[in-house]
Amino acid sequence: MSVSRRFVLAATLALVAVLVPALRAQAPDAKGHGAFATGKYRNLFAEAGHSQKEIQAKIDAAYQQLFHGDPQTQSIGFAAGKNADGPLMYVTDWNNHDVRTEGMSYGMMIAVQLDKKSDFDAIWNWAKTYMYISDPKAPSYQYFAWSCKYDGAHNSEGAAPDGESYFAMALLFAANRWGNGQGIYNYQAEADKLLSAMVHRAVISAPSKFGTHTVGPMMNANPPEILFVPDISPQMFTDPSYHLPAFYELWARWGPKEDRAFWVKAAETSRKFFPKTVNAQTGLAPVYANFDGTPHKNGFVQSNEFGYDAWRTASNWSVDWSWWRKEPVEQELSDRIQAFFEGQGIDKYGPVYSLDGKDMGATPGLTHEDHPAGLVGTNAVAGLAATNEERARKFTDALWNTSIPDGRGRYYDGMLYLMSMMHVSGNFRIWAPK
């Protein structure tokens, strides 16, 4: 080899040595280069050829219908008068005729993301007025009664940690986006109190009109995982769809300082939990699981199956990948679950499956559609992490072509449909301190 050729080869190798690491650092799947770091959110609808005007019109129409539409056939949001803190509004599970912390906290999250401050404040006011348990002697003190009647009377004084999780995150986003007000509208202070209770709430055992209950923190200490319910029992367990590592990362930055290391560990634990709890072939997660990820079977009909709670699990790991890009296995999980549902028929798969993929059909009284819009939505969100773009596009198109849920089942399907539309379009974002 001539001197000149050796010089060119050496120079080329040196250039490659410099460029390759730089290119890898900018790659779409580069560790740590998610939306939190870049401020950039994928818009799968735009990637599929839809204009921003069309996309915004879809989201606006869904919000208008679900929160301010026809009260008998469309809306799940209802104005409920005023009190000393201002207007009141509740979000109802129309089929079950109650108000749930799940829907109230989802409603607040949707409102802060879409800059609907008046609705946000009215929903929060109703939750604090009627759902919040302020009696220091009550077992669920500092939590929210998970189910109430329309007049605010409690159907239960038990708490459901998915509601508290979304309340806390929505409040922090509100503090960062709009600034804090006074009283219950000091969003940061309200979020801090709730996050602290989730980790440190003392165990309280006391009688109530619903019987004697013993309730402690919402987070298991070791491993640091969220509980299905904070009621103390010999066999406590978790719900895979309650695991929100994307939120935990933010609480580790903006929440109470003494718990920030805890939330870092909780995020790491949830990321390791996801591949343990989903089926190795189908990617389906159970409704309930033990802390090691194995299915938890109890008296609930869907407990160890892929049921309506579990629809959300793929969305949770996919948003975590989109925002943080810390655990590449989340991409494998999205590819796995999208491959399974593609095999079931992109426009006809059902709502409930055994973990190994047997179609169990709709559960009477719980799911109302053979091909539910909520699951169409969460499967589309999985496309934020999927590597098979051609297949992911099919799920994006399926969500785009799905009508806004109405009628009897419009509550759960509607909530997941709208939040999925927001995730897929890049309109569900991290609102950081200014």
Mean of pLDDT values over 368-381 = 92
Residue 222: its pLDDT value, please?
A: 94
Residue 11: its pLDDT value, please?
A: 41
Rounded distance, CA 261 to CA 249, Å?
10
**How many Å separate Cα 33 from the centre of its chain?**
21
Say which residue the tokens 């009508």 belong to.
Answer: 403
Q: How confident is the model at residue 17 (pLDDT cuts 50, 70, 90)?
A: very low
Phi, psi for residue 76 in degrees, rounded to 5: -115, -5
Residue 214: its pLDDT value, please?
A: 96
Looking at residue 382, what DSSP letter applies? G
Give 260-287 pLDDT, tens digit per residue.
999 999 999 999 999 999 999 999 999 9
Q: Catalytic residues, which ones? A: 102, 309
Please check whether residue 329 is in contact with residue 274, taking contact to mean a CB–CB distance below 8 angstroms.
yes
Does the N-terminal peptide bond of residue 223 adopt cis geometry, omega within 30 degrees of 0?
Answer: yes
Q: How confident is the model at residue 15 (pLDDT cuts 50, 70, 90)?
A: very low
Mean of pLDDT values over 202-206 = 96
Q: Residue 80: how many CB atoms within 10 A of its CB?
A: 19
CA atoms within 13 A on the CB side of 373: 23
Residue 415: its pLDDT value, please?
A: 98
Residue 7: its pLDDT value, please?
A: 37
Answer whether residue 304 shows pLDDT above 50.
yes
Answer whether residue 417 shows pLDDT above 80.
yes
Residue 366: its pLDDT value, please?
A: 65
Residue 389: its pLDDT value, please?
A: 97
Residue 363: its pLDDT value, please?
A: 73
Give 380-408 pLDDT, tens digit per residue.
999 999 999 999 999 999 999 999 999 99
Residue 1: its pLDDT value, please?
A: 46
Residue 58: its pLDDT value, please?
A: 98
Please check whether residue 194 is in contact with residue 175, taking contact to mean a CB–CB distance below 8 angstroms.
no
Residue 128, token pair as written in the block: 């604090």
Rounded distance, CA 77 to CA 209, Å?
29
* Helices then strands, each counted (H, E), the chain: 15, 6
Rounded distance, CA 401 to CA 364, Å?
26
Residue 107: its pLDDT value, please?
A: 98
Answer whether residue 39 shows pLDDT above 60.
yes
Answer whether residue 8 shows pLDDT above 90.
no
Q: How confident is the model at residue 207 (pLDDT cuts 50, 70, 90)?
A: confident
List the chain domain ranges: 35-74+239-429, 76-218
Answer whether residue 374 shows pLDDT above 50.
yes
Mean of pLDDT values over 339-348 = 97
Please check whether residue 319 is in contact with residue 329, taking contact to mean a CB–CB distance below 8 angstroms.
no
Say which residue the tokens 């929903």 belong to.
Answer: 123
Give 51-108 pLDDT, tens digit per residue.
999 999 999 999 999 999 999 999 999 999 999 999 999 999 999 999 999 999 999 9
Residue 335, token pair as written in the block: 């590819």
CATH architecture of 76-218: Alpha/alpha barrel (1.50)
Mean of pLDDT values over 342-371 = 88
Answer whether residue 167 shows pLDDT above 90.
yes
Say which residue the tokens 């309930």 belong to.
Answer: 288
> Same fold for the domain at 35-74+239-429 and the one at 76-218?
yes
Q: Residue 252: how many CB atoms within 10 A of its CB?
A: 17
CATH architecture of 35-74+239-429: Alpha/alpha barrel (1.50)
Answer whether residue 127 shows pLDDT above 50.
yes
Listing DSSP states for 13-60 in one string gives: HHHHHHHHHHHHHTSTT-TT-SHHHH-----HHHHTT--HHHHHHHHH
Say which residue the tokens 């949707």 belong to.
Answer: 110
